[in-house]
Amino acid sequence: VFQSSPVALISLDSRLRIMLFNRAAQELTGFQGHEIFGSRVSRIIERRRLHRILETFKDTSKVSADGYITKLRSKKGRQVPVRIKISPLFGPNKNLMGVLVIATDLREIKRFQSKLLEAERLAAITETAIGINHEINNPLCAILGNTQLLLMEKDKLDPRVIKKLKSIEKEITRIHEVAERLARISRPVLKEYVGGKLMLDVEHSEVKNHPSKPRSSKS
Protein backbone atom coordinates (compact mmCIF):
# COMPACT_ATOMS: atom_id res chain seq x y z
CA VAL A 1 0.00 0.00 0.00
CA PHE A 2 2.86 2.34 0.91
CA GLN A 3 4.69 1.73 -2.36
CA SER A 4 1.61 1.85 -4.59
CA SER A 5 0.31 5.16 -3.18
CA PRO A 6 -0.12 7.76 -5.96
CA VAL A 7 1.20 10.50 -3.66
CA ALA A 8 4.72 10.79 -2.32
CA LEU A 9 5.12 9.28 1.18
CA ILE A 10 8.28 9.98 3.18
CA SER A 11 8.71 8.84 6.77
CA LEU A 12 11.21 10.57 9.04
CA ASP A 13 12.58 9.49 12.39
CA SER A 14 13.01 11.84 15.35
CA ARG A 15 16.36 12.99 13.95
CA LEU A 16 14.75 13.96 10.63
CA ARG A 17 16.38 11.09 8.77
CA ILE A 18 14.52 9.55 5.83
CA MET A 19 13.50 6.00 6.75
CA LEU A 20 10.91 5.20 4.08
CA PHE A 21 10.64 6.70 0.60
CA ASN A 22 7.94 5.29 -1.67
CA ARG A 23 7.89 4.99 -5.45
CA ALA A 24 5.90 8.21 -5.95
CA ALA A 25 8.48 10.12 -3.87
CA GLN A 26 11.23 8.68 -6.06
CA GLU A 27 9.43 9.79 -9.23
CA LEU A 28 8.79 13.23 -7.76
CA THR A 29 12.37 13.91 -6.70
CA GLY A 30 14.44 11.71 -9.01
CA PHE A 31 16.18 10.04 -6.05
CA GLN A 32 16.21 6.25 -5.78
CA GLY A 33 15.52 4.68 -2.40
CA HIS A 34 19.11 3.52 -1.84
CA GLU A 35 20.37 7.05 -2.60
CA ILE A 36 18.20 8.73 -0.01
CA PHE A 37 17.64 6.25 2.87
CA GLY A 38 19.26 7.50 6.09
CA SER A 39 19.82 11.01 4.69
CA ARG A 40 18.56 14.08 6.51
CA VAL A 41 15.31 15.45 5.07
CA SER A 42 17.15 18.73 4.38
CA ARG A 43 18.53 16.95 1.32
CA ILE A 44 15.14 17.30 -0.35
CA ILE A 45 13.55 20.12 1.69
CA GLU A 46 15.59 23.24 2.38
CA ARG A 47 16.19 23.97 6.06
CA ARG A 48 14.20 27.22 5.92
CA ARG A 49 11.16 25.19 4.79
CA LEU A 50 11.32 22.69 7.66
CA HIS A 51 9.69 24.81 10.38
CA ARG A 52 6.29 23.10 10.12
CA ILE A 53 7.86 19.66 10.49
CA LEU A 54 9.90 20.84 13.47
CA GLU A 55 6.77 22.30 15.06
CA THR A 56 5.12 18.88 14.83
CA PHE A 57 7.89 17.34 16.91
CA LYS A 58 7.44 20.07 19.51
CA ASP A 59 3.65 19.98 19.63
CA THR A 60 1.56 17.47 17.65
CA SER A 61 -1.59 19.53 18.26
CA LYS A 62 -0.25 22.11 15.79
CA VAL A 63 -0.56 19.69 12.88
CA SER A 64 -2.78 21.25 10.19
CA ALA A 65 -5.25 19.00 8.37
CA ASP A 66 -4.88 21.21 5.28
CA GLY A 67 -1.11 21.03 5.27
CA TYR A 68 0.93 23.75 3.62
CA ILE A 69 2.46 24.56 0.26
CA THR A 70 6.23 24.41 -0.12
CA LYS A 71 8.87 23.02 -2.49
CA LEU A 72 10.91 19.84 -2.69
CA ARG A 73 14.41 19.85 -4.14
CA SER A 74 14.88 17.23 -6.83
CA LYS A 75 18.05 15.30 -7.56
CA LYS A 76 18.76 17.72 -10.42
CA GLY A 77 18.35 20.71 -8.12
CA ARG A 78 14.94 21.76 -9.41
CA GLN A 79 12.33 23.14 -7.05
CA VAL A 80 9.11 21.11 -7.25
CA PRO A 81 5.96 22.80 -5.84
CA VAL A 82 4.07 20.47 -3.49
CA ARG A 83 1.39 20.49 -0.82
CA ILE A 84 2.71 18.79 2.30
CA LYS A 85 0.66 17.19 5.04
CA ILE A 86 2.32 15.89 8.18
CA SER A 87 1.11 12.94 10.21
CA PRO A 88 2.79 12.11 13.56
CA LEU A 89 4.02 8.51 14.00
CA PHE A 90 3.62 7.20 17.54
CA GLY A 91 5.29 4.18 19.14
CA PRO A 92 3.68 1.50 21.38
CA ASN A 93 3.99 3.78 24.40
CA LYS A 94 2.42 6.70 22.54
CA ASN A 95 5.81 8.34 22.28
CA LEU A 96 6.47 10.35 19.11
CA MET A 97 8.84 8.30 16.96
CA GLY A 98 8.74 10.38 13.79
CA VAL A 99 6.46 11.82 11.17
CA LEU A 100 4.99 10.78 7.86
CA VAL A 101 5.31 13.48 5.19
CA ILE A 102 2.64 13.29 2.47
CA ALA A 103 3.60 15.37 -0.58
CA THR A 104 1.20 16.08 -3.46
CA ASP A 105 2.69 17.32 -6.73
CA LEU A 106 1.22 20.74 -7.62
CA ARG A 107 2.86 21.21 -11.03
CA GLU A 108 -0.18 20.02 -12.98
CA ILE A 109 -2.48 22.17 -10.85
CA LYS A 110 -0.26 25.21 -11.43
CA ARG A 111 -0.31 24.56 -15.18
CA PHE A 112 -4.11 24.33 -15.05
CA GLN A 113 -4.31 27.55 -13.02
CA SER A 114 -2.07 29.27 -15.55
CA LYS A 115 -4.35 28.18 -18.41
CA LEU A 116 -7.41 29.25 -16.42
CA LEU A 117 -5.92 32.70 -15.79
CA GLU A 118 -5.06 33.00 -19.48
CA ALA A 119 -8.63 32.06 -20.43
CA GLU A 120 -10.04 34.62 -17.97
CA ARG A 121 -7.70 37.28 -19.32
CA LEU A 122 -8.74 36.48 -22.88
CA ALA A 123 -12.43 36.61 -21.93
CA ALA A 124 -11.90 40.03 -20.33
CA ILE A 125 -10.13 41.29 -23.46
CA THR A 126 -12.94 39.99 -25.70
CA GLU A 127 -15.63 41.60 -23.53
CA THR A 128 -13.72 44.89 -23.54
CA ALA A 129 -13.28 44.71 -27.32
CA ILE A 130 -17.02 44.15 -27.85
CA GLY A 131 -17.75 47.16 -25.66
CA ILE A 132 -15.22 49.30 -27.53
CA ASN A 133 -16.63 48.30 -30.92
CA HIS A 134 -20.14 49.03 -29.75
CA GLU A 135 -19.33 52.42 -28.23
CA ILE A 136 -16.94 53.83 -30.83
CA ASN A 137 -18.15 52.41 -34.16
CA ASN A 138 -21.13 54.76 -34.51
CA PRO A 139 -19.20 58.00 -33.85
CA LEU A 140 -16.29 56.69 -35.94
CA CYS A 141 -18.60 56.00 -38.89
CA ALA A 142 -20.08 59.49 -38.59
CA ILE A 143 -16.64 61.12 -38.49
CA LEU A 144 -15.35 58.96 -41.35
CA GLY A 145 -18.48 59.59 -43.46
CA ASN A 146 -18.28 63.37 -43.03
CA THR A 147 -14.55 63.34 -43.75
CA GLN A 148 -15.09 61.42 -46.97
CA LEU A 149 -17.95 63.76 -48.00
CA LEU A 150 -15.58 66.69 -47.62
CA LEU A 151 -12.92 64.90 -49.63
CA MET A 152 -15.42 64.42 -52.46
CA GLU A 153 -15.30 68.18 -52.84
CA LYS A 154 -11.54 68.42 -52.64
CA ASP A 155 -11.41 70.56 -55.78
CA LYS A 156 -12.86 73.39 -53.70
CA LEU A 157 -10.52 72.84 -50.73
CA ASP A 158 -7.12 74.14 -49.83
CA PRO A 159 -4.42 71.42 -50.34
CA ARG A 160 -3.43 71.75 -46.68
CA VAL A 161 -7.00 71.03 -45.62
CA ILE A 162 -7.14 68.02 -47.96
CA LYS A 163 -3.93 66.67 -46.42
CA LYS A 164 -5.40 66.98 -42.91
CA LEU A 165 -8.66 65.33 -43.95
CA LYS A 166 -6.79 62.39 -45.46
CA SER A 167 -4.80 62.07 -42.24
CA ILE A 168 -8.08 61.98 -40.27
CA GLU A 169 -9.46 59.33 -42.64
CA LYS A 170 -6.32 57.21 -42.24
CA GLU A 171 -6.33 57.38 -38.42
CA ILE A 172 -10.06 56.57 -38.20
CA THR A 173 -9.47 53.48 -40.34
CA ARG A 174 -6.56 52.50 -38.08
CA ILE A 175 -8.72 52.85 -34.94
CA HIS A 176 -11.35 50.62 -36.53
CA GLU A 177 -8.74 47.99 -37.46
CA VAL A 178 -7.25 47.99 -33.94
CA ALA A 179 -10.70 47.55 -32.37
CA GLU A 180 -11.51 44.75 -34.81
CA ARG A 181 -8.17 43.02 -34.16
CA LEU A 182 -8.68 43.36 -30.41
CA ALA A 183 -11.91 41.35 -30.66
CA ARG A 184 -10.09 38.52 -32.48
CA ILE A 185 -7.15 38.03 -30.10
CA SER A 186 -6.66 34.35 -29.28
CA ARG A 187 -3.35 34.53 -27.42
CA PRO A 188 -2.60 37.86 -25.72
CA VAL A 189 0.96 39.19 -25.50
CA LEU A 190 1.83 41.70 -22.79
CA LYS A 191 4.53 44.35 -22.79
CA GLU A 192 5.88 46.73 -20.18
CA TYR A 193 4.31 50.16 -19.94
CA VAL A 194 5.14 53.29 -17.92
CA GLY A 195 5.90 52.63 -14.26
CA GLY A 196 6.57 48.92 -14.77
CA LYS A 197 2.90 48.16 -15.47
CA LEU A 198 1.95 45.68 -18.16
CA MET A 199 -0.20 46.50 -21.17
CA LEU A 200 -1.66 44.45 -23.98
CA ASP A 201 0.48 44.38 -27.11
CA VAL A 202 -2.31 44.37 -29.70
CA GLU A 203 0.05 44.27 -32.68
CA HIS A 204 2.01 41.18 -31.58
CA SER A 205 -0.82 39.21 -29.96
CA GLU A 206 -2.05 36.20 -31.93
CA VAL A 207 -5.48 36.58 -33.52
CA LYS A 208 -8.09 34.24 -34.96
CA ASN A 209 -8.33 34.04 -38.73
CA HIS A 210 -10.92 36.36 -40.18
CA PRO A 211 -12.70 35.51 -43.45
CA SER A 212 -12.74 39.11 -44.56
CA LYS A 213 -10.90 42.29 -43.71
CA PRO A 214 -12.69 45.57 -42.91
CA ARG A 215 -13.06 47.73 -45.95
CA SER A 216 -12.54 51.48 -45.99
CA SER A 217 -13.94 53.80 -48.62
CA LYS A 218 -11.46 55.52 -50.90
CA SER A 219 -12.04 59.06 -52.08
pLDDT digits (tens, 9 = 90+) for 76-132: 999 999 999 999 998 888 888 999 999 998 888 777 777 788 778 778 877 877 787
| Per-residue model confidence (pLDDT) at position 170 | 92
Q: Which residues contact 151 (CB under 8 A, 6 or more apart)?
A: 162, 165, 166, 169, 219
| Per-residue model confidence (pLDDT) at position 213 | 47
pLDDT band at residue 38 using 50, 70 and 90 as cut-offs: very high
Burial of 98 (0-12, 13-18, 19+ CB in 10 A): buried
- Using CA atoms, how far apart are residues 21 and 6, in angstroms rounded to an integer? 13
Tell me the average pLDDT across 67-71.
88
- Using CA atoms, how far apart are residues 61 and 12, in angstroms rounded to an integer? 18
| Residue 11, helix vs strand vs coil | strand
Q: Is the pLDDT of residue 219 over 60?
A: no
The reported pTM is 0.54
pLDDT digits (tens, 9 = 90+) for 176-193: 888 888 878 888 888 888
- Using CA atoms, how far apart are residues 11 and 39, in angstroms rounded to an integer? 12
| Per-residue model confidence (pLDDT) at position 210 | 59
151 — phi, psi (to 5°)?
Answer: -70, -25
Tell me the average pLDDT across 1-30.
92
